[in-house]
């Protein structure tokens, strides 16, 4: 039994070495892709595709876009907005048109209101009351992106 295991092991090792040798014989050396030609200074070859719902600058380091809006109960309006704070930036005053539930979609940072400071990481959910403003700080190399679910009176 012991001799059989040794024979099978030696045969397997020889077969693997032979397959490796045969498979690697026709392989070429490393290949490189040539670099693209430099663009001319006057060249404006922009994509014809336009974003359907682009961010708009609200103030320095803060971009915003409305993702969804609909009529709500009792004459209110429901809005979903994305707030985008540039990486490593601070926005002193962020205010929304009504009470909101905020959810962190990307990045990390801190939200400070008059009452308290809250650390923000992906998945953090918190509220912002009506007529309440806050400061948003983005930390790290990725932007801080929050989704605001707003009830507009």
- Block means of pLDDT (10 residues each) for the chain, length 153 residues? 65 62 62 81 80 91 96 94 96 95 97 94 95 94 97 94
Supply the pLDDT for residue 26. Answer: 61
Beta bridge partners of 133: 95
CA atoms lying within 13 Å on the CB side of residue 151: 11
Q: How far apart are CA 64 and CA 95, in angstroms?
A: 12
Residue 138: is it exposed, middle or buried by C-beta count within 10 angstroms (0-12/13-18/19+)? buried
> What pLDDT sits at residue 27?
60
Give me the pLDDT at residue 48, please. 82
| All structural domains of the chain | 56-152 (2.60.120.10)
pLDDT at 39: 77
pLDDT at 13: 62
């Amino acid at each position: 039994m012991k001799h059989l295991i040794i024979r099978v092991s030696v045969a397997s090792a020889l077969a693997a070495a032979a397959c490796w040798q045969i498979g690697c014989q026709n392989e070429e050396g490393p290949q490189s892709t040539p670099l693209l030609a430099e663009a001319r200074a006057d060249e404006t070859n922009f994509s014809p595709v336009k974003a359907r719902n682009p961010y708009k600058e609200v103030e320095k380091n803060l971009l915003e876009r409305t993702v969804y809006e609909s009529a709500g109960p009792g004459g209110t309006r429901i809005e979903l907005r994305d707030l985008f704070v540039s990486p490593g930036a601070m926005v002193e005053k962020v205010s929304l048109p009504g009470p909101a539930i905020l959810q962190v979609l990307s990045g990390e940072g801190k939200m400070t209101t008059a009452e308290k400071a809250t650390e923000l990481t992906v998945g953090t959910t918190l509220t912002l009351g009506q007529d309440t403003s806050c400061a948003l700080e983005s930390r790290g190399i990725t932007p801080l992106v929050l989704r605001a679910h707003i009830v507009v009176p």
